[in-house]
Amino acid sequence: MTGRTIMTADEIRRAIVRISHELVEKQAGTGGLVLVGIQRRGVPLARRLADAVEEHEGVRLAVGALDITFYRDDLSLVAAQPIVKGTDLPFDLNGATVVLVDDVLYTGRTIRAAMDALVDFGRPQAIRLAVLVDRGHRELPIRADHVGKNVPTSREEVVRVHLLEIDGADDVAIERRVEAPLAGAVG
């Protein structure tokens, strides 16, 4: 498996700073904004966004973590149950503008599951989506409001995001899948 780096640590940092400005601009301030990272790599990304917003606005946005495992649409298809990482939303979602944060946007099924999960906790004023990488190939009518980098990919490729907090280093790489392409993958 050969990997090609498509984002360096520095590019990841700049993308997060840019998105942090976009978030505030779109909201015309920080009022009502909360960040919800999708387990696992969306969670450190959400914290970094909160750090960046704090740097230029002097306001600390609340950060939560969302585990979408129980809302997956393919639970009956997997042979071993995914390990649950845990949900922690320490704020009231009613009336809030929730920014969902994830590392890669692909089919859109994770985001569908995340929205289903969120509305069980309350009625947000709005739900927005920020992702580090949008690799295309949507299977649902979902788009991101804030994108770190758009990367054209083929379905035979795999996008790997590594973050310091989890993987010990920051970078995004693209790799060719080793095995033969999967016909009719659920993705």
Partner 1 sequence: MSLELEPERQTTPDAASVSPDRASREQGDIEPAVPDPDRPPPAGSWRHRHLLDVDALSWADISLVLRTTDAMHEVLRRPIAKVPALRGTNVTILFYEASTRTRVSFEVAAKNLSADVVNIAAASSSVSKGESLVDTIRTIEALGARMLVMRHATSGAPYLAAEHFSGHVLNGGDGWHAHPTQALLDLYTMREALGGRAGDSGPGGRPADRFLAGRKVVILGDILHSRVARSNLWTLTAAGADLWVCGPTTLLRGFDGWARRGVGGSSDRRFTVTSDVDAALRDADVVMALRIQRERMEGGLLPSLREYAARFGLTRERLASARPDAIVMHPGPMNEGVEIAPDVASGSHSVITDQVTNGVAVRMALLYLLAGSAGGSSGPAGSTASSSHD
Among 3, 55, 59, 86, binds partner 1 (CB under 8 A): 86
Q: Is the dihedral of CA 163, 168, 173, 178 positive or negative?
A: negative
Choose the binding region for partner 1 from 4-12, 13-21, 49-57, 156-164 (rule: CB under 8 A).
156-164
Tokens encoding 42: 């969306």
Which positions from 87 through 146 interact with partner 1, judged by CB under 8 A? 87-88, 102-110, 113, 116-117, 120-122, 131, 133, 135
Closest alpha carbon to 108 in 85, 84, 77, 134: 134
Residue 169 touching partner 1 (CB under 8 A): no
> Which amino acid, one-letter code, is at 11?
E
Give the CA distances from residue 102 to residues 27, 138, 150, in Å, rounded to whole numbers and listed in that order: 19, 15, 14
Residue 76 touching partner 1 (CB under 8 A): yes
Name the minimum Å distance from CB 187 to partner 1. 5
DSSP character at residue 27? H
Residue 82 touching partner 1 (CB under 8 A): yes
Q: By rule CB under 8 A, what string of x and - marks binding of each residue 34-53 to partner 1?
A: ----xxxx-xx---------
105, 133 in Cβ contact below 8 A?
yes
138, 108 in Cβ contact below 8 A?
yes
Choose the binding region for partner 1 from 3-11, 22-30, 32-40, 52-60 (rule: CB under 8 A).
32-40
Closest alpha carbon to 90 in 31, 34, 52: 34
Name the minimum Å distance from CB 133 to partner 1. 7
Name the minimum Å distance from CB 29 to partner 1. 28
Give the CA distances from residue 126 to residues 85, 97, 108, in Å, rounded to whole numbers and listed in that order: 25, 5, 18
- List residues binding partner 1 (CB under 8 A): 1, 38-41, 43-44, 65, 67-88, 102-110, 113, 116-117, 120-122, 131, 133, 135, 158-161, 165-168, 178-179, 182, 185-187
